[in-house]
Every structure is written in C-alpha cells, then in structure tokens.
Amino acid sequence: MITNLPELPEVETVVRGIAPFMEGKAIRQISVFPTKLRNPIQPFFTSAVENAKVLSVKRRGKYILICLNNNLTWITHLGMSGYVKIIDSDYYKKVKHDHVVWQVENKTIVLNDARRFGDIFITENPNDYGSLKSMGPEPFEITVNQFYENLQKTSRPIKNALLDQKIIAGLGNIYVAESLWLTGISPTKISNSIKISDAKKLMENIIIVLNKAIYAGGTTLKDHRQTNGELGYFQQSLMVYNQENKPCQKNQCDGIIYRIIQSGRSTFFCPKCQQ
C-alpha cells in the first residue's frame, strides 16, 4: 500500500518543489472545482489570488503558506491525502479529486486531495487561522529545554503528546513512531515522566528522522514533474510504522513489533527495546 500521509517532511518537500516555480511569479488562471474540502472554499478565493504575485512559499508545521503581494496569505493543508502536481505546460486535463489548478508562467500546478481532509484558506492573518493560532515550535528551532518543558505540561502518553501540534509542530503518526523507536522510549510512557536526558535524545532523533525523510523527498524532486505526492519513498526505510509482527531492526534486539491503539489510532513499537 502506498501511503501518502503529509507530515512535516512531505509538506517541506512540496514547499521546496513548488517554491522555485511560484516565488516572484504571478498566479494566473486559477480555478476551483466546486467540491468541499474540510471547509468550504471561500467564495472570493479565486478573485483574491488571481494575478497576485507570490512573495514566498513557506511551511509552518504541516501547513503551506503562500504569501501574496496583496497582503493576503493563501494557506493550504494537505490533510492526509493531499498532493501537488507540477505540469510542464499550460495544457491541463482534470482528473478525479483535483480541487484547485493554477498557472505560473508556462507551468500548471494542481492540488489534488482524494479524502478531502485538506484545507484551503485566504487570510490577512495566517497566525490566527486554525491550529496555526497555537502552533508549537518547529522541530528545527525548538531548544531541548523548551521541548522538555512542553513535555512536562501533560500527563498524556508521550505518543499523544508528540502528536499535539501545540507541543511540537509537524509530527504525525509515522514520524512519532519512528522517533520513539530510535530513542528506545515506549509510546505509552507518560509525557511528564520523561527525564531531560531522554528528552534530549528524543529531540536529536526527531531531527535525524525528519532530516532523513526530507532528504529522501528531495532526491525525488530532481524530476519536478514527480512532485506528485507519491511519497511512499520513505516507506522503504520505516523501522516500526506499519511493521506489525516483524522483527525489530535494532541491533541486539530480538523483539517483535506490536501494534496497539492509543486514542483510537494505531501505534507501532517494540515492547522489548522501547521501555
């Protein structure tokens, strides 16, 4: 099964993929197809974006922020199945679940989202929108002390705490599982019982896991036409996520990967080396 769960590295990959084609360019011929995503698309969306020049394309957590020269920011969240296609011409033929299509110079860019958990929003104040309002620090910017303090704030299991975007931005089920496995921390361990030394190791491993995934994504960007959300590339290097009943890959560990449910979501871990 090809999964396409846009967490921080996937969103970063999309941003890096589209930024060179969009920054400094004007958006032309934007169309929205009348299907509702998570929220209805604002009626003035196309008129707000059409002909605006793109100042920057950035990522914050799992959100894409496209800053325009008309004081507006176009916010996109990819949900769990959203992806972006770059087509090397102005010829475009709609396929199923395409929701927004626009042109920059001679390229066509398309947002596709089958499950429609994604979101599109135009605002003057992106920091007030949705979970951006209370979004926690970026993993690449947070300090160990900050991270530790945020983990101290809750008595939930560490797995749930790491998924909480207020504690740290950008992590989802896959990279939380991988990071906890790499660090040897059980996903059921209570967040505020983590020692600062373990928080430090966990923080370092989160960075390692994210960087590895971003790097893997970057290599697929060489052919930018492949900016198509087929982000299964990282799947080959998943150590625990979706690996139920397989042997633990850690050196010296003869454990088996278990799947449990936490807050209604699957958690994968090795009970032997993750205590």
Beta bridge partners of 64: 59, 76
| Cβ-based neighbour number of residue 42 at 10 Å | 14
Enumerate the active-site residues: 6-7, 62, 265
3-state helix, strand, coil in the chain (%, to 5): 35, 25, 45
Residue 63 found at the interface with DNA (CB under 7 A):
yes
> Which amino acid belongs to residue 196?
I
98-104 vs 54-60, strand pairing mode? unpaired
By CB under 7 A, residue 114 contacts DNA: yes
3-class DSSP state for residue 105? coil
| From 14, 57, 77, 227, residue interacting with DNA (rule: CB under 7 A) | 77
The distance of closest approach from Cβ of residue 155 to DNA in the complex, given in angstroms and rounded to an integer, is: 4
Determine the size of the site formed for DNA (CB under 7 A).
36
Minimum gap (Å) between residue 53 Cβ and DNA:
27
Q: Give the range of 103-111, 143-151, 172-180, 227-235 binding DNA by CB under 7 A.
A: 172-180
Token couple for 239:
């150590």
- Torsion 32-36-40-43 (CA) sign: positive
Query: Which one of 93, 96, 195, 222 is in contact with DNA (CB under 7 A)?
Result: 96
**String marking each residue 117-146 x if it binds DNA according to CB under 7 A:** x------------xx---------------
Answer for which of 22, 49, 54, 61 binds DNA (CB under 7 A) is 61
Place of tokens 């626009």: 102
CB of 57 to DNA, least distance (A): 17
Which residue number, 17 or 61, has a Cβ lying nearer to DNA?
A: 61
Q: Rule CB under 7 A: which of 185-214 touch DNA?
A: none
98 membership: H or E segment, kind and range = strand 98-104
Min dist CB 151 to DNA, Å, is 11
Q: Which residues contact 252 (CB under 8 A, 6 or more apart)?
A: none
CB of residue 225 to DNA, shortest distance in Å: 20
Q: Indicate which single residue of 154, 188, 226, 249 sits in contact with DNA (rule: CB under 7 A).
A: 154
Interface segment toward DNA; rule CB under 7 A; list 22-30, 47-55, 83-91, 109-117: 109-117
Which one, 107 or 159, has the nearer CB to DNA? 159
The closest of 128, 148, 129 to 137, measured between CA atoms, is 148
Strand, helix or coil for residue 218: helix
Contacts of 162 (CB under 8 A, 6+ apart): 168, 171, 176, 179, 180
What is the closest distance, in whole angstroms, from the C-beta atom of residue 256 to DNA in the complex?
Answer: 17
Q: Cβ(274)–Cβ(176) under 8 Å? A: no
| Binding region for DNA (CB under 7 A) out of 86-94, 159-167, 199-207, 215-223 | 159-167
